[in-house]
Chain A
């Protein structure tokens, strides 16, 4: 491996239900210029600026398929190398790091954006299902999550209260995060009283929708990173794994793809005990049960022990491994942007710049992104300062 890859700048918008007065290009522009401003890097052809751009977005949320073709110029995708990720933003970080490690480029600007408010998210996610079989019975990502939640909670005896605790933690943590959308003192009882969305998932246990926002990151080779900033955060490992799209081909109570992605990232980073190693985790839980299930896949506890983990208090702020000090997806993040924003949040923490949500003395963190129905695609990125 040719040296390390450093994160030298991160930026995010405030996440809101509907940014009615801002064009998608404005969200992209604001985060792009912010990271460029932090580093002083411009678009140059002589190797002293940003060498390549890489955007993660779902075109179907922006309008036509291929919408990025008329939006790319905003992030500088004009007469220079540009790549696209039509999956979660964490994958853009993965590919950006690969570009640098290949020796092909030294600096990559990553941007992820989504205005979920443009169109019904359920419709887009229904289109994401196999058109011959699954669409015919109305399956979309929410119903896939319902199937997974039922299977997971039944197999391992995860209680509704344990899932509800995830929401309570998320909203309280979000109160310390100026970028977050949902922050309140919701109680377990409030969550359990909320309307059933997709049995056993209640409305308060699902990521709020719609959410609009964007995130940007600049990655640099080790040599460049040290010149650009005195607080680089290093990507120490990354791994991804695709599971089968057909829900029936998997045991939804387990998340083998995440286990595999995590093991790949941990092997690269030399990590054997994630619960002890990491000072915090920023993970992508679109539904409350997923924080518990993904915790198992990430190796923070054994299979079926996600419920016990939240009961132990270890994942609270002040615990051994705070999960989602930012509030996570349950506090309101757009799909696709979420994975990149998880990485950005880890970076803010490892730079010691997280303000009221800071985990004191954070040295190592893990970010996680997900895509597809019931966590089909998983991506894990480990970072340290």
Chain B
């Protein structure tokens, strides 16, 4: 086989780049209440009128009972660690759109009000994270808050 024939048999790939922004406008609707609370440094959750379960992100219906959730409950500033893991590969930063390494473990927290939410932990050493440990929300400065989940900069362990 000649070098030319060999070249023709090589699989060929095409790569397209469409460098443009795709602006989405998502109406928050009933979720506006949650976003506004975050801007004020508060965490609130929707509550099912049947089972009393609180949900974050706020949901229009309780998935268990398919009942409209109109009650909002303050969840406090503290919660207990449910689970944690550290990402060992680059992931997107939603604020910059860039790939980055994440020093802070991603965690799931059960809040004082009963709802569960995700976030980052201030403690970067995973060996120091224990299920059930008490954590407290650390917020971005008020002027940086956008009413989004990452308005909470991270959760820091609290000594008991």
A interface list, Cβ under 8 A from B: 19-26, 29, 33, 42-43, 63, 73-74, 76, 78, 115, 117-120, 123, 131-132, 135
Contact A43 B22 (CB under 8 A): no
Q: Determine which of A23, A76, A115, A123 lies in contact with B30 in the assembled complex, contact meaning CB atoms within 8 Å.
A: A23
Query: Does B89 lie at the interface of the complex (its beta carbon under 8 Å from any beta carbon of A)?
Result: no
Contact B24 A23 (CB under 8 A): no
Docked complex Cα distance between A76 and B66 (Å): 7
Query: Does B9 lie at the interface of the complex (its beta carbon under 8 Å from any beta carbon of A)?
Result: no
Query: How distant is A57 from chain B, measured CB to nearest CB, in Å?
Result: 14
Query: Does B25 lie at the interface of the complex (its beta carbon under 8 Å from any beta carbon of A)?
Result: yes
Known: A29-B61, A123-B22. A115 touches B14 (CB 8 A): no
Question: Which chain A residues border B59 with CB–CB below 8 Å?
Answer: 25, 73-74
Besides A23-B29, A63-B24, 18 other CB < 8 A contacts? A21-B27, A23-B30, A23-B60, A25-B59, A26-B29, A26-B30, A29-B68, A33-B68, A43-B66, A63-B26, A74-B59, A76-B66, A118-B25, A118-B27, A119-B22, A119-B24, A123-B22, A131-B16
Docked complex Cα distance between A86 and B31 (Å): 26
Q: List 30 A-B contacts (CB under 8 A).
A: A19-B27, A20-B27, A21-B29, A23-B26, A23-B28, A23-B31, A24-B26, A24-B27, A25-B60, A26-B29, A26-B30, A29-B68, A33-B68, A43-B66, A63-B24, A63-B26, A73-B59, A74-B59, A74-B61, A78-B64, A115-B27, A118-B25, A118-B26, A118-B27, A119-B22, A119-B25, A120-B22, A123-B22, A131-B16, A132-B14
Question: Which chain B residues border A73 with CB–CB below 8 Å?
Answer: 59, 61, 63
Docked complex Cα distance between A241 and B127 (Å): 58
Known: A43-B66, A119-B22, A132-B14. A74 touches B27 (CB 8 A): no
| Count of chain B residues near A, Cβ 8 A | 19
Query: How distant is B92 from chain A, measured CB to nearest CB, in Å?
Result: 12
Residue of B nearest to A43 (CB): B66
Question: Which chain A residues border B30 with CB–CB below 8 Å?
Answer: 23, 25-26
Query: Does B97 lie at the interface of the complex (its beta carbon under 8 Å from any beta carbon of A)?
Result: no
Contact B22 A118 (CB under 8 A): no
Q: Determine which of B23, B25, B60 lies in contact with A26 in the assembled complex, contact meaning CB atoms within 8 Å.
A: B60
Docked complex Cα distance between A76 and B64 (Å): 9
User: Which residue of B27, B63, B64, B68 has the most chain A CB atoms within 10 A of its CB atom?
Assistant: B27
Residue of B nearest to A19 (CB): B27
Docked complex Cα distance between A73 and B60 (Å): 9
Docked complex Cα distance between A23 and B64 (Å): 21
Docked complex Cα distance between A117 and B24 (Å): 9
Contact A22 B27 (CB under 8 A): yes
Contact A119 B31 (CB under 8 A): no
